[in-house]
Structure 1
């Protein structure tokens, strides 16, 4: 089975490769535009990954100008351009995920680190729990709730597919005690967490109340790493308007440090599983 890829990442990788090729050819953007006979904004859109489609003829013109003659290299760049045009499954949920889609990046992520202080992260939610979370916000029609839940459930495939992404989750203990939906829904969710925590690609840790203040008294965030060294890590910060992507190296590094700090306040994976089990038993005894 072929592993899904991120069109956005492929587009960014292509733009980075073309910028490097132009620099190696010792051409300024002005010189390249003049030689290619293009309008001023066209090259800028390609080099800044602002266009989804780079025509094969246009790409060949750039490769000829930059004196890239190796057939294998040229084909690899054409493959990137083709992949950048492919629409992922998430495109049918554009109204759910928005124009810059988290699943687009999750599709190709090799590792994801997530901190959550209020609810179970979407990648680990059960359908009923996800429905309750979505219904807890602004009034939403039953049809839209169903569609949002379905979209969220499709995201989870990255954890169980062939060559799954590795997921490291840090939860504040408050997540375990906040009963979302109903006690049975919450119990099912906690059992699901324990099941997922047994998978070799998933690590789940809890920051206990006893830890007091910790480094992640901030908005929930995820750090996504990618297998290709040309693709720098990015940070996704959940917001009321859908989410924010951070890509500047200092912003990414700040969140990496924060994740490391809060991980230092968390219990081990086995201790965390025991705590989840205790909370689950208490919840079941009240049902």
Structure 2
């Protein structure tokens, strides 16, 4: 099984996509047709295909029979189905008291992704944040949380960084575009700001991290309202998924039309940004000016 399917979440997503293809493209059945055959709600079949719900063994067997799946394909899908029911909890399970369901879903996608394309307006990407920067951001964004809860969320961010950038045999390939404004905000105070800018300069030496900055001079070309990130997976059977950010929280987007629009938007933002070398020069100038 590929690395993309190494978590129950990604196994559900991959299985759901395969089941949707068998229903729609191979057998030309509607959700209503399948729901009637299985004597269940349409919403159940839809959620299974979207990877948002596990498929029971009974329903899986009936679907294989309904779709006329050949033995070799059935064996492959049975392996995926078994992976969706894996009981070994992910590393973030021990932080369940502070992790929302949406954040847990995000962590599952990030853990399995091979590439991320991220645009940020006013803060730096989570994987690029120092401990002091992360603590200041989390403390301001979750003011109702107690010190222990903030500590736990900072730990989660540090583990994400370590597992996806430092300790992995297959580190995440990161393409970041951010506005110049994100470099000027002194999050955590002047000393923490200097530390963070130095950390960015060090990160740019890593082959798997590309960081590009949109300067103020680009004006409306870099003035998008909301941050977003797109995850891409090594397994071609797993579609891209995006997360948008707003005051109401994070929004998951997996509709192909939304993803095409976001990829096009990211390409335009990247074209408006300075190249990595000039971006490094800008970060250095800001750091030296405020030192």
Q: Which structure 2 residue ranges, 5 or more long, are not aligned?
A: none
Q: Which moved more, 1:252-261 or 1:201-210?
A: 252-261
Q: Which whole-Å CA distance do the structure 2 matches of 1:155 and 1:81 have between them? A: 27
Q: Which whole-Å CA distance do the structure 2 matches of 1:32 and 1:63 have between them? A: 12
| Distance change >3 Å, CA 133–CA 49, structure 1 → 2 | closer
Whether contact under 8 Å (1:56, 1:78) holds in the other structure is: no
Taking structure 2 as the reference length, the TM-score comes to: 0.85
Q: Which whole-Å CA distance do the structure 1 matches of 2:118 and 2:165 have between them? A: 14
1:123-148: CA deviations, max 9, x gaps? Answer: 11111110011122324311011011
Aligned residue number for residue 150 of structure 1: 155
Counterpart of 1:159 (choices 162, 165, 187) is 165
How far did residue 13 of structure 1 move? 1.9
Number of aligned residue pairs: 280
Whether contact under 8 Å (1:90, 1:104) holds in the other structure is: no
Q: Which whole-Å CA distance do the structure 2 matches of 1:217 and 1:35 have between them? A: 47
SS of residue in 1 equivalent to 2:80:
helix
1:69-122: CA deviations, max 9, x gaps? Answer: 324x22321221222234432333345442132111111212111111111111
Q: Which whole-Å CA distance do the structure 1 matches of 2:211 and 2:199 have between them? A: 12
Taking structure 1 as the reference length, the TM-score comes to: 0.86
| Distance change >3 Å, CA 210–CA 273, structure 1 → 2 | same
| Distance change >3 Å, CA 250–CA 31, structure 1 → 2 | closer
| Alignment RMSD | 2.5
1:125-182: CA deviations, max 9, x gaps? Answer: 1111100111223243110110110111122221231111210111111111111112
Aligned residue number for residue 133 of structure 1: 137
Aligned residue number for residue 279 of structure 1: 286
Aligned residue number for residue 20 of structure 1: 21
SS of residue in 2 equivalent to 1:223:
strand
| Distance change >3 Å, CA 143–CA 65, structure 1 → 2 | same
Whether contact under 8 Å (2:17, 2:238) holds in the other structure is: no
SS of residue in 1 equivalent to 2:229:
strand
